């Protein structure tokens, strides 16, 4: 049986005419005798009626720290609504289809509400429906823990559902349909001359996704990579081929073209970050101060990032939602930190940049030419990131994109 998994994001499903386009895309594969599994996100974005954010806001109106179990049950409703509607739309065209929840699709996760990891997929039920000639529509983003509790897979997690099903069903490929042409050198909403990458390695897209390019969930890539299932990121509204994620591509004369990691793949950003700085040189007693600070934050369940420890100072970042709590924890240790509440991280990502001289110098040049202060920086073998004020984020992304000449010529 030839199986393809196609996932459609929220903006691709928001209106009946868009869902009709989705039905067209799926129907064209059925005509070729392919068995189709369709994974759906919740319809729309932000404050649209049945979008995930709407459910989250609704819950937070009742309680700013809602119970995680109930939060997951409510958050998962968006995918159920869109999946049921799409299934019904298939039937309206006389295309046999069936809707399955994450649990019914056999997606078994750990018990971590809000960010559960898929442990395994029991695809038996899906296969039975496919054999009966039905399109199987699966609610993305949701699963079932081994103790029977409903879980969600973290924001953007419908991509993860699609990948896990692609691997479990040994699909020919997985399509991630969204509202942009494919994976680009930067978010096209910020960088107008961002360029489409027609082919990209699993490694490259994984790094981009981990550094904030939310076009695909990083876990979706990690899962597809395990079985080398090709993954395409494509636009629902155009016929463009989008981006092929693989390590090789069929070329002329049946020769395989190897896709290599680029020096710089793209520029990413993450906002909603607060930077916390402790000037330990000013404290009366600095013995074991690092341990005290990080232990207290850990006990308060605060996740820290971008940690820089010097003999005279400690710097790190937290998610903006946790900044006030972190401040409180430090005050209880008699530490008055300096906090820069509105920060963003911009990063240049490129799996082959390691060992190439001059990359950091270009980063600094790009930002200083635009009068953007670097609050902190760091690097790994696949990226260099800089913390900047949130108000400078867009300008910084564009400046880096220009400096590394990533745009359309």
Binding site for Mg ion (CB under 5 A): 156
Using CA atoms, how far apart are residues 154 and 147, in angstroms rounded to an integer?
19
52 lies in the site for ligand ASP, by CB under 6 A: yes
Using CA atoms, how far apart are residues 262 and 234, in angstroms rounded to an integer?
21
Using CA atoms, how far apart are residues 232 and 243, in angstroms rounded to an integer?
5
DSSP lists the bridge partners of residue 148 as none
Q: How far is the CB of 216 from Mg ion (least distance, A)?
A: 7
Measured from the CB atom, the residue of 158 and 382 that comes closer to ligand ASP is 158
Name the binder of 44 from ligand ASP, ligand ADP, Mg ion, none, CB < 5-8 A by kind.
none
Per CB under 6 A, contacts with ligand ASP among 101-140 are 140
Which residue of 29, 35, 41, 268 would you call a contact of ligand ASP, by CB under 6 A?
41
Q: Which two structure tokens, joined as six digits, stand for 129?
A: 């429906």
DSSP element (H, E) containing 57: helix 52-62
Task: Looking at 132-262, list the stretches that DSSP marks H as alpha helix, in order from N- to C-terminal side.
Answer: 158-168, 202-210, 218-226
Residues 199-238, mask of contacts with ligand ADP (x by CB under 6 A): ---------x----xxx-----------------------
By CB under 6 A, how many residues form the interface with ligand ADP?
18
CA 199-205-208 angle, 5° bins? 130
Residue nearest to ligand ASP (CB): 158
What are the backbone angles phi and psi of residue 144, rounded to the nearest 5°?
-130, 130
CA 242-245-249 angle, 5° bins? 95
Q: Is the torsion defined by CA of 76, 91, 179, 391 positive or negative?
A: negative
Name the binder of 186 from Mg ion, ligand ASP, ligand ADP, none, CB < 5-8 A by kind.
ligand ADP
Q: Tell me the longest C-alpha to C-alpha distance in the chain.
A: 77
Q: How far is the CB of 134 from Mg ion (least distance, A)?
A: 26
Name the binder of 42 from ligand ASP, ligand ADP, Mg ion, none, CB < 5-8 A by kind.
ligand ASP
CB contact at 8 A, 138 and 126: yes
Which residue of 183, 231, 346, 397 would you call a contact of ligand ADP, by CB under 6 A?
183
Q: How far is the CB of 362 from Mg ion (least distance, A)?
A: 31
Residue nearest to ligand ADP (CB): 9
337 lies in the site for ligand ADP, by CB under 6 A: no
Cβ atoms within 10 A of the Cβ of 365, count? 13
Measured from the CB atom, the residue of 10 and 106 that comes closer to ligand ASP is 10
Q: Which two structure tokens, joined as six digits, stand for 224?
A: 């597809």
Q: How far is the CB of 81 from Mg ion (least distance, A)?
A: 17
Using CA atoms, how far apart are residues 409 and 404, in angstroms rounded to an integer?
12
> Which candidate, 107, 102, 103, 126, places its Cα nearest to that of 118?
107
155 lies in the site for ligand ASP, by CB under 6 A: yes
Per CB under 6 A, contacts with ligand ASP among 157-186 are 157-159
Binding region for ligand ASP (CB under 6 A): 10, 41-42, 52, 78, 140-141, 155-159
Binding region for ligand ADP (CB under 6 A): 9-11, 41, 156, 178-180, 183-184, 186-187, 189, 208, 213-215, 266
């Amino acid at each position: 049986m030839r199986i393809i998994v196609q996932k459609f994001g929220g903006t691709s499903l928001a209106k009946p005419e868009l869902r009709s386009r989705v039905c067209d895309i799926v129907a064209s594969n059925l005509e070729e005798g392919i068995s189709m599994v369709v994974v759906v996100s919740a319809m729309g974005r932000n404050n649209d009626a049945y979008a995930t954010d709407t459910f989250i806001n609704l819950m937070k109106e009742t309680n700013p720290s809602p119970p995680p179990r109930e939060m997951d049950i409510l958050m998962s409703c968006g995918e159920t609504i869109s999946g049921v509607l799409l299934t019904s739309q298939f039937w309206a065209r006389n295309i046999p289809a069936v809707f399955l929840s994450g649990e019914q699709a056999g997606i078994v996760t750990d018990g971590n509400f809000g960010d559960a990891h898929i442990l395994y997929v029991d695809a038996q039920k899906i296969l039975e429906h496919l054999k009966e000639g039905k399109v199987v529509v699966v609610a993305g983003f949701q699963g079932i823990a081994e103790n029977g509790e409903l879980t969600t897979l973290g924001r953007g997690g419908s991509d993860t559902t699609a990948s896990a099903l692609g691997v479990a069903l040994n699909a020919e490929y997985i399509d991630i349909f969204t509202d942009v042409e494919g994976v680009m050198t930067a978010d096209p909403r910020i960088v107008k001359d961002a360029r489409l990458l027609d082919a990209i390695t699993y490694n490259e897209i994984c790094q981009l996704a981990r550094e904030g390019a939310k076009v695909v969930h990083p876990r979706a890539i990690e899962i597809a990579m395990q079985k080398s299932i090709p993954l395409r990121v494509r636009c629902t509204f155009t016929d463009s081929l989008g981006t092929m994620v693989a390590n090789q591509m069929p070329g002329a004369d049946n020769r395989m073209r190897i896709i290599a990691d680029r020096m710089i793949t793209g520029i990413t950003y993450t906002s909603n970050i607060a930077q916390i700085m402790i000037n330990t040189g000013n404290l009366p007693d600095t013995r074991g101060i690092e341990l005290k600070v990080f232990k207290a934050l850990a006990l308060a369940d605060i996740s820290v990032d971008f940690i820089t420890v010097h003999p005279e100072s400690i710097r790190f970042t937290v998610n903006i939602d946790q900044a006030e709590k972190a401040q409180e924890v430090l005050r209880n240790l008699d530490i008055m930190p300096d906090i820069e509440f509105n920060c963003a991280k911009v990063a240049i990502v490129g799996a082959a940049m390691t060992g190439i001289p001059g990359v950091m110098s270009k980063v600094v040049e790009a930002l200083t030419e635009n009068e953007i202060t670097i609050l902190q920086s760091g690097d790994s073998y696949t990226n260099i990131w800089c913390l900047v004020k949130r108000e400078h984020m867009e300008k910084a992304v564009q400046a880096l994109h220009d400096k590394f000449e990533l745009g359309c010529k």
